[in-house]
Amino acid sequence: MNQRQLFLQHVAQTSPAPLALEIVRAEGCTLWDIHGKAYLDLISGISVCNMGHRHPKVVEAIKEQSDKYLHLLVYGEFVETPQVAYAKFLTDHLPASLDCVYFTNSGSEATEGGMKLAKRVTGRTEIVAFKHSYHGSTQGALSVMGDEYWRNAFRPLLPGIRHLDYNDPAQLDQITSATACVIAETVQAEKGVRAPHVEWIQNLRKRCNKTGTLLVLDEIQAGFGRTGTLWAFEQYGIVPDILLLGKALGGGMPLGAFIASHSLMATLTHDPVLGHITTFGGHPVCCAAGLAGMQALLQEKRIEEVAAKSRIFRDLLKNRLIKDVRATGLLIAVEFESFDINKKIIDRCIEHGLITDWFLFAPECMRIAPPLVITEDEIRKACAIILSSCES
């Protein structure tokens, strides 16, 4: 059996039709398959590889840390320098109230931790989330996912979850003194890049303040410069009580985090002790990689380039089949009439050496979320492939 057959037989599948490309090397914005064919990566591993594949600083950090130690003990018991250094660096670049980091293995686990923390702090059980939001696929995260198609097969899920319409001011009064937290994507990614109205998200913050509800913002996809600022919430003049991170957090390695104030996070240390625990969360190699990636992001001033690069995509992607192009920085949705049209164009793009995808809650939209290091020439090449794929 060849590798593809072994993959289909022995690696658990997530859909009936995986791409099944056999990639043997990746560098910057390019992937190469077993036949030597190059692919320009327009989705960066679903917003993971913000600084491109195998950024030299990230690779160097991984090698250096792997020469010192790997896993030592369950999270939170030993002082591990990579964890401490990364937590300090993160909080140095966050508002003062977000000064304590709990590292997890993934964004889904960050969601789980944030939900538990909110319940523990408030003593409440109700959670408000929003329709067409994605927060992960573990059972707690799935409970707050905003789409019944994905939830239904796995019920019963967590009780006490209320789903509201994103950007609807009339529904904010459904957040009450019984609500432990509101969990929201700062920008709805899987809905096809839907940004909040400034007034709405500011009123959401005010409503949480009024009812003593914690505001949990999910920037698992939107964080680390993806939307044109380090954190998307900076664009709206608000600060969450709990921030969820993942994807680009690990520089290409598996890492998530929920971040809050030290006083809030301390509630997980007692009644019960070990109120939240993980074996591999904050793995030292992942933290070393993530820190190197974030430092490179800031040192190379990649965030300052996002707006201009986004504008090139928006200026070039004009075609009779394209209904709309929505963008918050380099998180872009190209909308077509239907999923069938979108999927045909995506498949043609892949045939022509361009990796793109669709959105869970907006399957008629093509996903564009390239590494932030993508060059202007690569953007123009990508757009040319998309446009030619629209016509072929």
Residue ranges of the alpha helices (H) in 123-230? 139-144, 148-151, 198-211
Topology alike, domains 3-54+301-391 and 57-299: no
CA separation, residue 167 to residues 177, 179, 210 (Å) = 21, 19, 19
Task: Calculate ∠ Cα 111-116-122, nearest 5°.
Answer: 125
CATH number of this structure's domain 57-299: 3.40.640.10
Query: Over the chain, what is the mean pLDDT?
Result: 96
Residue 84: is its pLDDT beyond 80? yes
Residue 99 confidence class, pLDDT cut points 50, 70, 90: very high
CA–CA separation, 127 vs 378, rounded Å?
Answer: 43
CA–CA separation, 254 vs 108, rounded Å?
Answer: 11
Beta strands at 179-185 and 214-218: parallel, antiparallel or unpaired = parallel
Q: Exposed (0-12), middle (13-18) or buried (19+): which is 125, by Cβ within 10 Å?
A: middle
Q: Which of 11-15, 29-33, 197-201 has the lowest mean pLDDT?
A: 11-15
May I ask the CATH architecture of the domain 3-54+301-391?
Alpha-Beta Complex (3.90)
Res 72: pLDDT:
95
Q: What does the block give as tokens for 270? A: 């007692």
Rg (CA), the chain: 21
Res 163: pLDDT:
98
Res 15: pLDDT:
83
Least Cα distance to 87 among 212, 240, 227, 262 occurs for 262
pLDDT single digits (tens) 249-270: 999 999 999 999 999 999 999 9
Residue 4: is its pLDDT beyond 90? no
What's this model's pTM, rounded to 2 decimal places? 0.97
- Tokens 């698992």 — which residue? 220
Residue 20: is its pLDDT beyond 90? no
pLDDT single digits (tens) 149-186: 989 999 999 999 999 999 999 999 999 999 999 999 99
Mean pLDDT confidence for 45-52: 96
Percent of the chain surpassing pLDDT 90: 93
Q: Does residue 155 contact residue 186 with C-beta atoms inside 8 Å?
A: no
pLDDT single digits (tens) 297-321: 999 999 999 999 999 999 999 999 9
Least Cα distance to 273 among 107, 74, 35 occurs for 74
Maximum Cα–Cα distance across the chain: 63
Q: Domain-by-domain residue ranges, the chain?
A: 3-54+301-391, 57-299
Res 156: pLDDT:
94
Residue positions counted in the chain: 392
Residue 7 confidence class, pLDDT cut points 50, 70, 90: confident
CA–CA separation, 47 vs 41, rounded Å?
Answer: 11
